[in-house]
Chains A and B, each alone.
Chain A
Amino acid sequence: MKIAVLVKQVPGSETALPILENQKWIDEEQVSFVMNPPDNFAIEEALLIKERTGDGEVVIVSMGPARVQKVIREGLAKGADRGIHLEEDGQIQTDPLSIAKSISSILMDENFDLVLTGLQSDDTGMGQTGVLIGEMLGMSTGTLVMETDVQDSAIRVKRELESGWFQWVKLPLPASISIQSGLNTPRYPSLRGIMGAKKKEIKVVSPSEHQTDAISQSIDKVFVSQTSKQTEMIEGNADSAVTRIIEILKSELKVL
């Protein structure tokens, strides 16, 4: 069983996010990076599937500048077998279609049985890459997977539906699935794993080998959301307060 896990390196959640002068993105020089937290669950699930089926190969795939090799190594330290680094130079790609085309072109020849991704990335949060790649490589697809059950040439997945509903779906292999956070307990790399990861292979694919020129969407500008923090004091007795609260919930916050 050959499993590819797509991972992304994203800014840490506690780090400050200074915006570039041209407002196109944040200044990545000043930011600390981590493994995209949802991807941890995908890596763990891939390793568990490998352990359950008894054989197989887990390959960590990531696209980005040189620094993303760090998260590939993290996956290797946890037990993955090798890595593939699609190098990016200069402008970071944010168009899901272009990213998927790049990655598909490299995954194509390897004939993976499974492609696993986290639910979405904590930076751009497009949440499509796994499914796009699945379509491009002719794989069956499934998202929000809460449990996996590998069978002969197929994988049964428990998909999370809204409002506490779930559904098991059987997908023939090869399949591309996105993993819902919380379905497993990600392991921490052991010391042997960390040391051993240094020797595992990371194939570097240069930009010219995978980059596509066609960009279908881009982020033009990032900015701080404009809400000014004005506290509205709700006056009156309990009844009038309740009336106002219902109004807020309904019309302003739209949570009803």
Chain B
Amino acid sequence: MDILVVLEDNHGSLHRMSKEAIAGAQKMGGSISALAIGANADAMAGELSGVDITEVITINHDLVSSYNADGYSDVVSEVIKSESPKTIVAGHSYQTRDFMPRVSAKLDIPFIPDIISMDNGIVKQVLNAKLNALVTTSADQVILSFQSAAFSEEAMVTGSCLTRSIEVNLDSSIVRSEAEEPFQEAAGGVDLESAELLVSIGRGIEKEENIQIAFDLAKALGAEVSASRPVVDSGWVEPFRQVGSSGQSVSPKLYFALGISGAIQHVVGMKGSENILAINKDSDAPIFEIADYAVVGDVLEIVPKLIEALHN
């Protein structure tokens, strides 16, 4: 096979990043096999029955019914050894980061992680996403992981594929870890600096009662909430949400600026954002000079409609 896509189980269904990885593999071209491991392997295979790949290989064994690094790295290594794919591909998820290097070391295959593009060679970001790097390898086989949203699950080409289940022999001594049940926890202090998406509030929100729509929008987007200094000073949000020269410096993938004028003390804290979408009533607001997307309009009118549209 040309490409082996290692799939990931997200609470019983296929992880979004696995679908993106399939789309990426299809774009690369060649024969594609997907690998589903664990108790939900069949369900995952079912989700891909209408996708244009060769097959989904399913493996279920007691020792890998749920994820653990030892078991998964062993199984994936065995499959790579027996199936000899040229390229192994996965989404750059927490899980991939946890076990894929083990596979890399076991088989001495280079692992190039967090790739943002395959159009003109393998490209990943370096130096805190300030620069891009072209990575090359001379090895016969390579493991790649794709950054979230580098490819789109919508781009998965439809078709049909088969399912093939494999039996593996796993020695119980392979799995040395003991995992307890996963649990959910409210995040503690929010770390704005590592947030991917930020909804940021400026004085254009006008009143304290309106702050809630920003939080609602953030929830709908899975984003964190930040704010400019005047909003913090007015006591409308907690101080740790402040972005600016005397607050946090952030560089999210998307900075949603609601009613922020773009005063320099604020801009220095967020100009590193990859994409800036600004909504402000004032067409002369300095924020529009650095925004990628500019909406001259009333935050109080647009945001509620946006939230509604997102829920649909």
Chain B associates with chain A: yes
Task: Give the CA-CA distance A19 to B133 in the complex, in Å.
Answer: 11
Q: Within B38-95, which residues are at the interface with A (CB < 8 Å)? A: 68-70, 73, 93-94
Stretch of A72-80, A197-205, A221-229 contacting B (4+ beta carbons < 8 Å): A221-229
Given A135-B105, A181-B194, A245-B306, do A253 and B253 touch, yes or no (CB 8 Å)?
Answer: yes
Cβ contact within 8 Å between A124 and B126? yes
Q: Within A207-239, which residues are at the interface with B (CB < 8 Å)? A: 215-225, 229-234, 238-239
A164 interface contact, C-beta 8 A? yes
A107 interface contact, C-beta 8 A? no
Q: Give the contacting residue for B108; candidates A216, A224, A246; CB below 8 A.
A: A216
Collect the chain B residues with CB atoms within 8 Å of residue A114's CB. Answer: none
Cβ contact within 8 Å between B309 and A233? no
Q: Give the contacting residue for A169; candidates B180, B191, B194; CB below 8 A.
A: B180
A57 interface contact, C-beta 8 A? no
Give the interface size class of chain A.
35 or more
A188 interface contact, C-beta 8 A? no
B164 interface contact, C-beta 8 A? no
Task: Give the CA-CA distance A144 to B301 in the complex, in Å.
Answer: 41
Cβ contact within 8 Å between A170 and B177? yes
Say how far A47's CB is from chain B's closest CB, in angstroms.
Answer: 21
Q: Mark B121-143, 1 if CB is under 8 A from A, else 0.
A: 10011111011111111110010
Q: Which residue of B lies closest to A233 (CB)?
A: B294
Q: Give the contacting residue for A166; candidates B111, B184, B295; CB below 8 A.
A: B184
Say how far A133's CB is from chain B's closest CB, in angstroms.
Answer: 8
Task: Give the CA-CA distance A246 to B179 in the complex, in Å.
Answer: 40
B163 interface contact, C-beta 8 A? no
Cβ contact within 8 Å between B292 and A224? no
Say how far A23's CB is from chain B's closest CB, in angstroms.
Answer: 9
Cβ contact within 8 Å between B309 and A243? yes
Q: Within A154-184, which residues are at the interface with B (CB < 8 Å)? A: 159-162, 164-172, 181-182
Q: Which residue of B lies closest to A245 (CB)?
A: B306
Q: Give the contacting residue for B133; candidates A127, A142, A216, A219; CB below 8 A.
A: A219
Q: Within B280-312, which residues are at the interface with A (CB < 8 Å)? A: 288-298, 301-302, 305-306, 309-310
Task: Give the CA-CA distance A231 to B289 in the complex, in Å.
Answer: 7
Task: Give the CA-CA distance A231 to B262 in the complex, in Å.
Answer: 15
Collect the chain A residues with CB atoms within 8 Å of residue B305's CB. Answer: 238-239, 242
B269 interface contact, C-beta 8 A? no
Task: Give the CA-CA distance A194 to B110 in the complex, in Å.
Answer: 39
B221 interface contact, C-beta 8 A? yes
Q: Give the contacting residue for B295; candidates A13, A224, A241; CB below 8 A.
A: A241
Task: Give the CA-CA distance A242 to B279 in the complex, in Å.
Answer: 11
Task: Give the CA-CA distance A251 to B153 in the complex, in Å.
Answer: 11
Q: Which residue of B lies closest to A170 (CB)?
A: B178
Collect the chain B residues with CB atoms within 8 Å of residue A223's CB. Answer: 131-134
B209 interface contact, C-beta 8 A? no
Stretch of B29-37, B96-104, B225-233, B236-244 contacting A (4+ beta carbons < 8 Å): B96-104
A255 interface contact, C-beta 8 A? yes
Cβ contact within 8 Å between A164 and B187? yes
B176 interface contact, C-beta 8 A? yes
Interface-centre pick from A134, A216, A225 (highest chain B CB count, 10 A): A216
B13 interface contact, C-beta 8 A? no
B114 interface contact, C-beta 8 A? yes
A126 interface contact, C-beta 8 A? yes
Collect the chain A residues with CB atoms within 8 Å of residue B245's CB. Answer: none
Q: Which residue of B lies closest to A160 (CB)?
A: B94
Cβ contact within 8 Å between A169 and B127? no
In the A-B complex, the 3 residue pairs with the closest CB atoms: A254-B149, A135-B105, A131-B101
12 sample A-B contacts, Cβ–Cβ < 8 Å, listed by A number: A13-B128, A96-B110, A97-B110, A125-B113, A141-B102, A161-B94, A220-B121, A220-B135, A223-B131, A241-B297, A241-B302, A243-B309
Additional 12 contacts, C-beta under 8 A, given A143-B97, A221-B133: A19-B131, A26-B131, A97-B104, A140-B70, A141-B102, A161-B182, A171-B176, A217-B139, A222-B134, A225-B132, A232-B292, A234-B295
